[in-house]
Structure 1
Amino acid sequence: MSEWRLLLTRPAEECQALAAALAEVGIHSASLPLLRIEPLAETAVQRAIILELDRYSAVVVVSKPAARLGLQRVDRYWPQPPFGQPWFSVGAATGAILRDYGLDVTWPEQGDDSEALLAVPRLAEALAVPDPKVLILRGEGGREHLASTLRARGAQVDILELYRRCLPEHPPGALRQVVEAQRLNGLVISSGQGLESLRELAAEAWPQLRELPLFVPSPRVAQMARELGAEHVVDCRGAGTAALLAALRTTPVPVS
Structure 2
Amino acid sequence: MTRPAAQAVEWVERLRGRGWQAEALPLIGIAGAPDPQAVQAAWARLHGCRAVVFVSPNAADRFFAARPPDQAWPAGVLAATPGPGTDAALHAAGVPPELRVQPAPDAAQFDSESLWQQLRGRDWTGGRVLIVRGDGGREWLAERLREAGAEVDFVCAYRREAPRLDAAQDRLLRAAIAEPHRHLWFFSSSEAVDHLQACCQERGLQPAWHDSHALATHPRIAARAAALGCGQVVEVQPSLEAVSAGIERSIQSLAP
**Cα distance in 2 for residues equivalent to 1:155 and 1:231:** 44
Cα deviations by residue, 1:118-169 (Å, 9 ceiling, x for unpaired): 222xx1244x143122111111112222222322333211111111111222
Cα deviations by residue, 1:173-231 (Å, 9 ceiling, x for unpaired): 86233454797331111111111111212336455134322111111111222233323
Q: State which of 94, 97, 101 in structure 1 corresponds to 2:86.
A: 94
8 Å contact kept, 1:54–1:82: yes
Of all paired residues, the percent bearing the same amino acid is 28
Once the two structures are TM-superposed, the CA of residue 41 in structure 1 deviates from its matched residue by 4.3
Tell me, yes or no, if structure 1 residue 187 matches structure 2 residue 210: no
Cα deviations by residue, 1:79-108 (Å, 9 ceiling, x for unpaired): 232132211111101101212313321211
8 Å contact kept, 1:9–1:188: yes
Structure 1 segments (4+ residues) deviating >4 Å: 171-174, 204-207
Partner of 1:37, secondary structure, is strand
8 Å contact kept, 1:66–1:138: yes
Please report the TM-score for the alignment, with normalisation by the length of structure 2.
0.84
Residue type of the partner of 1:243?
A
Partner residue in 1 for 2:248: 249
Residue type of the partner of 2:84?
A
- How many residues get paired? 244
**Cα distance in 1 for residues equivalent to 2:41 and 2:249:** 48
Tell me, yes or no, if structure 1 residue 226 matches structure 2 residue 226: yes
Please, what is the CA RMSD of the aligned residues? 2.5
Q: Which moved more, 1:186-195 or 1:99-108?
A: 99-108
Q: Are the structure 2 counterparts of residues 212 and 233 from structure 1 closer, same or farther at C-alpha, using a change threshold of 3 Å?
A: same
**Cα distance in 1 for residues equivalent to 2:179 and 2:86:** 33
Please report the TM-score for the alignment, with normalisation by the length of structure 1.
0.84
Q: State which of 56, 69, 72 in structure 2 corresponds to 1:63.
A: 56
Q: Which moved more, 1:136-145 or 1:243-252?
A: 243-252
**Cα distance in 2 for residues equivalent to 1:70 and 1:44:** 12
**Cα distance in 2 for residues equivalent to 1:206 and 1:159:** 40
Residue type of the partner of 1:248?
I
Partner of 1:9, secondary structure, is coil
Partner of 2:211, secondary structure, is coil
**Cα distance in 1 for residues equivalent to 2:241 and 2:56:** 17
Query: Which fold has the larger relative contact order, with Cα–Cα distance below 8 Å and residues 6 or more apart in sequence?
Result: 1
8 Å contact kept, 2:52–2:130: yes
8 Å contact kept, 1:50–1:77: no
For structure 1, list consecutive stretches of 5 or more residues without a partner in the other structure: 1-7
Q: Are the structure 2 counterparts of residues 119 and 125 from structure 1 closer, same or farther at C-alpha, using a change threshold of 3 Å?
A: closer
Task: Output aligned runs, 1:62-211, within 5 Å.
Answer: 62-73=55-66, 75-76=67-68, 79-100=71-92, 101-103=94-96, 104-108=99-103, 109=105, 110=107, 111-120=109-118, 123-126=119-122, 128-170=123-165, 175-180=173-178, 184-203=182-201, 205=205, 207-211=207-211
8 Å contact kept, 1:192–1:224: yes
Partner residue in 2 for 1:4: none
Partner of 2:79, secondary structure, is strand
Residue type of the partner of 1:234?
V
**Cα distance in 1 for residues equivalent to 2:216 and 2:209:** 15
For structure 2, list consecutive stretches of 5 or more residues without a partner in the other structure: none
**Cα distance in 2 for residues equivalent to 1:232 and 1:26:** 22
Residue type of the partner of 2:245?
A
8 Å contact kept, 2:124–2:148: no
